[in-house]
Chain A
Amino acid sequence: MTRIDEADEDPAGATRHIYPASAMVGDYLRAAAGLIPTGILFATVPLGTVAATVLGGFAAMFGLFGLRTLLRHGTRVEMTDTELSVHGATRRTIAWAELDRMKLAYYSTSRDRRSGWMQLELRAGGGAGNAAVSTKVQIDSRIAGFDSLVRRAAEAAAFRGLALSDATVANLESLGIRVPDHDPAYDPPYDPRADR
């Protein structure tokens, strides 16, 4: 699923990860496949209000997707023992010691749920009830060395004692990452007094 040949490691132990061009071609083509027909229809066919609204919504979404693909293509992720930083249109840094939330989602459009992709979402700095000032990072599985990023994030989550969703645990296990002592009955840690 991931290519690790484009993840570099420097002598200090930091690794750099980029989205390889070959992995982004599909998304560029998808954005074009959505934008070009809608553009042609807008230019050549007199559309009704409903059709224009629907097609306009599609065009905006495919445009946004193309822009996101472009930004993602220019994004570089750097991981050290203490933090993960994302260098792209903006720079965001998450210190592993401040990790508040980890979510690993798997998406597939096929009925047998194969040939899908994963998305790692990390949040830090805002505390449990203060999402507004927290830093959020989303990393797609097509980035080089995705497995090592997930593994490090899972270690940090375990160290911080974060509660992981059932879906996240299943997805981690599919990558061969064992979550220590995860049992749905223990999550969150149970205190009988809380139920009285």
Chain B
Amino acid sequence: MLGYLVHRILIMIPTLIAISLVIFVIIHLPPGDYFSTYIAELQSQGETANLAKIAFLKAQYGFDKPLWQQYLYWAFGLLHGDMGYSFLYDLPVNAVVGDRLLLTFVVSFTTIIFTYIVAFPIGVYSATHQYSISDYMLTFLGFLGLATPSFLLALVLLYLANVYFGISVGGLMDPIYVDQPWNWAKVLSVFAHVWIPVVVIGTAGTAGMIRRLRANLLDELQKQYVVTARAKGLHPFKVLVKYPLRLSLNPFISDIGSLLPQVISGAAIVSVVMSLPTTGPMMLEALRSQDMFLAGSFLMFMAFLTVIGVFLSDLALAALDPRIRLQTGPAQ
């Protein structure tokens, strides 16, 4: 496994470097930069910008240097924990981002756990009770979950909670904890609030996962070795757990890689609707205003999570099923 780990990490590092290059180039593609947009905005309002301060910031953050030097400045800054300066908020990015990265991670991680905990038993039940009334009901719910946009579900929940229970379910903690330092009461408040965004963000992923697990398990259950095992009198639970379930888990595990970025990007709109203090709304604003360091840091964080997700799912697959596949076509 050490050899596999080294091979995978050696692929992961250039991948992250390539992604950082792409992010940097894309952020710089629109004409101008944050400062030119800022000066134009002030001029349109009949105000004058503090040109001396802007020139100072441009020189300090290397905006007067060639692009490749700006890239190196940004990339090496990330390495020693300096994510740069947010011109939009007039603060270092580290200070602006604050707890948002942590809360985004908490929401995303909890959503993935929720997805797996809900999808696994339902998928197995649905496959082992194919074409039963409960299977049809679960299938219907699955399609409903797939077809419902997360932000719409968020709006419906907000409305129902407000009208029928008289409570506001927005935010990730009680308002009194928003600007307080972390303590046990704040952590408990986050846990009390996190389930609603988790259900909202995780519903579509859960429905998709149920469909995939059901399909994979049905494929396995119809194979001859399962029929043989049943014919020999093996207990149905043992038949299910010993091979078909284990084999049908491979795509389930390989989904970890794609689930992380899906959850984070899907959460952006939901975060706006539900006023969640996560990275989504701030990233949208940073991209809109070309706040290069802030947008770049968020995008790198997402890319890092994606690469880590794929890395973890590859490791889990290598540990669970280290077999050669001789057939042509995409490997699962």
Contact = CB atoms under 8 A, between A and B. Distances in A.
Interface residues of A, number: 44
Nearest to B78: A51
Contact of B6 (A62, A106, A119, A190): A62
Contacts of B2: 61, 64-65, 68
A74 interface: no
A34 B243 contact: no
Nearest to B227: A185
B321 interface: yes
A51 B79 contact: yes
B4 interface: yes
Given A62-B6, A65-B6, A195 B238 contact: yes
A61 B2 CA distance: 8
A112 interface: yes
Contacts of B3: 27, 65, 107, 117, 119, 140
Contacts of A185: 225, 228-229, 232, 234
What DSSP secondary structure best describes chain A's contact surface? helix
Contacts of B225: 183-185
A166 B330 contact: no
Interface string A30-49: 11011001000100011111
Contacts of B133: none
Interface string A108-143: 110111001111000000000000000000001000
A90 interface: no
Interface of B: 2-11, 13, 76, 78-82, 225, 228-229, 232-235, 238, 242-243, 247, 314, 318, 321-326, 330-331
Contacts of A195: 233-235, 238
A64 B1 CA distance: 12
A105 interface: yes
A111 B8 contact: no
Contacts of B9: 34, 58, 61
Contacts, number: 101
B8 A174 contact: no
Given A31-B6, A183-B225, A185-B228, A170 B323 contact: yes
**Considering the complex of A and B, which 4 residue pairs feature the smallest CB-CB distances, nearest first?**
A48-B81, A105-B322, A167-B323, A185-B229
Given A107-B3, A140-B3, A113 B79 contact: no
Given A45-B80, A50-B81, A58-B9, A184 B235 contact: no
Interface string A48-68: 111100000010011011001
B167 to A, nearest CB: 38
Contacts of A183: 225, 228
Contact of A170 (B82, B234, B243, B324): B324
Contacts of A48: 79-82
Given A46-B80, A48-B81, A166 B6 contact: no
B324 A33 contact: no
Interface string A161-196: 000001100110010000000011100001010010
